[in-house]
Amino acid sequence: MRLAERTWPEVEAYLKTSPGTISVSVPTFTALACDVLTSLASQGFARVYILNGHGANIAPLQAAIDVPPPTTGKPMSLIRKYQEKDVETLIEVWFKASRLAHPFLEQDFLEQEKENIRKLYLPNAETWVAEREGQIVGFVALLENEVGALFVDPDYHGQKIGKALMDKAVAERGALVLDVFKENPIGRRFYERYGFRQDDEHRHEATGQPCLRLSYSPS
């Protein structure tokens, strides 16, 4: 990991009252961010974490992230904190991914889970979402050091979005634990590749399905 020093201007008009603040126009800010990200991508950096200091910078940063770096041809993914306005999109992502990974779950259970996500899970979890070109394509929800949920829109599988979300979870919590259905080969393969190890097996109380308890410790 490399940490860049803070040498970043702010978008004009917002901080002109603060002496010494360097302010630039939105197009200049976006172009600068795009050039920096493209430079890092050309040097082999697969993930870039941006610690933003001002809300006015979010839109131009997103515009820069949406430009495909020439080395990959694909836009970068932005990982940000969940906002309440995201709830219905997150449920759509969860439902699509869950239908693919959990075909053994009954429809009535999935419908009840939608309500639990809205009213129980998200209000009590620390959740991070992944965006691609301004669209939410995945999320990870944390309950202390437990990964309560990690789902990526199936249309975006294989693009390392799940890994980026898990990297964020590790950055926030370090060692992690989670449950995965035994009959979910998609999830099990992902967690095994990431470095999770099985600790236990038990029955999922609500469905009776066998579950595996996995843990991960950063090396």
pLDDT digits (tens, 9 = 90+) for 124-143: 999 999 998 889 999 999 99
Report pLDDT for 53: 61
Position 114 pLDDT exceeds 80 = yes
Domains (ranges, CATH) in the chain?
10-75 (no CATH), 80-216 (3.40.630.30)
pLDDT tens profile 13-71: 555 566 666 677 777 777 777 677 767 765 767 667 666 666 677 766 766 665 555 55
The 3-state secondary structure of the chain reads CCCCCCCCCEECCCCCCCCCCCEECHHHHHHHHHHHHHHHHHCCCCCCCCCCCCHHHHHHHHHHHCCCCCCCCCCCEEEEECCHHHHHHHHHHHHHHHHHHCCCCCHHHHHHHHHHHHHHHHHHCEEEEEEECCEEEEEEEEECCEEEEEEECHHHCCCCHHHHHHHHHHHHHCCEEEEEECCCHHHHHHHHHHCCEEEEEEECCCCCCEEEEEEECCC
Rounded to whole angstroms, how far apart are CA atoms 159 and 171? 20
Position 117 pLDDT exceeds 80 = yes
Report pLDDT for 75: 62
1, 23, 38 from 47: Cα distances, Å = 10, 27, 12
Q: What's the residue count for the chain? A: 219
Report pLDDT for 40: 74
Selected residue with higher pLDDT from 75 and 91:
91
Report pLDDT for 109: 95
What would the mean pLDDT of 99-108 be, rounded to a whole number? 95
Mean pLDDT of the chain: 84
Report pLDDT for 29: 74
Report pLDDT for 32: 77
Global pTM? 0.70
Rounded to whole angstroms, how far apart are CA atoms 214 and 24? 48
